[in-house]
A and B are shown apart, each in its own frame.
Chain A
């Protein structure tokens, strides 16, 4: 049972480089999320999606772009990485239903920008 899978798990980037984090879920969930978590801090919502082809901004969207071309995938892009984007990134998904609305998280992607 895969659940929510994030790739890559670890990455080191140089300032100005670009990269894409991939999130895949196999639970047919409508909603998907990208969060970042800095050391000793809580989760902050970057972007989210309420369905295939839709995306919306969260709390800290600047410097990131997202796409949801397929229902099972939610991509997070950094066009020009900055040291301030060094963080752990978590993807999550949940169903849209009146019961059993648990959010499922991936294991995290550790990104360092030098």
Chain B
């Protein structure tokens, strides 16, 4: 599985968009980009994933660059409850056994 690089922490004002970047320059053609988040001490929760097209669901949007070497998770209107650690991982949908999580980005949403 390809490795990812994320900033250790970010701040965002409540109600504003939170843009969380992720670099994955060694991503392979069959690897997807997944985003998870971990609120306080709970188990991580799935947010969104994509291969090469931009994706949107009820939680967030995922923008993947054309060369697929980086991506951005967008929380369009951040709330205090979005304060969490956000993990970006890349993995093939088949195989991709190890599923390594990095340190993630700690997002602080401030009132």
Asked if B43 and A42 make an inter-chain contact with CB atoms under 8 angstroms apart, the answer reads no
Asked if B97 and A31 make an inter-chain contact with CB atoms under 8 angstroms apart, the answer reads yes
Asked if A48 and B98 make an inter-chain contact with CB atoms under 8 angstroms apart, the answer reads yes
Bound Cα distance A1, B101 (Å):
26
B45 surroundings in chain A (CB, below 8 A) = 105
Question: Which stretch of A13-21, A65-73, A94-102 is in the interface?
Answer: A94-102
Tally chain A residues at the interface, Cβ within 8 Å: 30
Chain B binding site: helix, strand, loop or mixed by DSSP?
A: loop
Minimum CB distance partner of B91 in chain A? A101
Assess whether B13 is interfacial by the CB under 8 Å rule.
Answer: no
B76 surroundings in chain A (CB, below 8 A) = none
B32 surroundings in chain A (CB, below 8 A) = 101
Bound Cα distance A88, B103 (Å):
15
How many whole Å from B62's CB to the nearest CB in chain A? 14
Asked if B97 and A48 make an inter-chain contact with CB atoms under 8 angstroms apart, the answer reads yes
Q: Which 8 A-B pairs have the closest CB atoms?
A: A105-B43, A42-B103, A43-B101, A102-B46, A101-B93, A98-B93, A105-B44, A42-B104
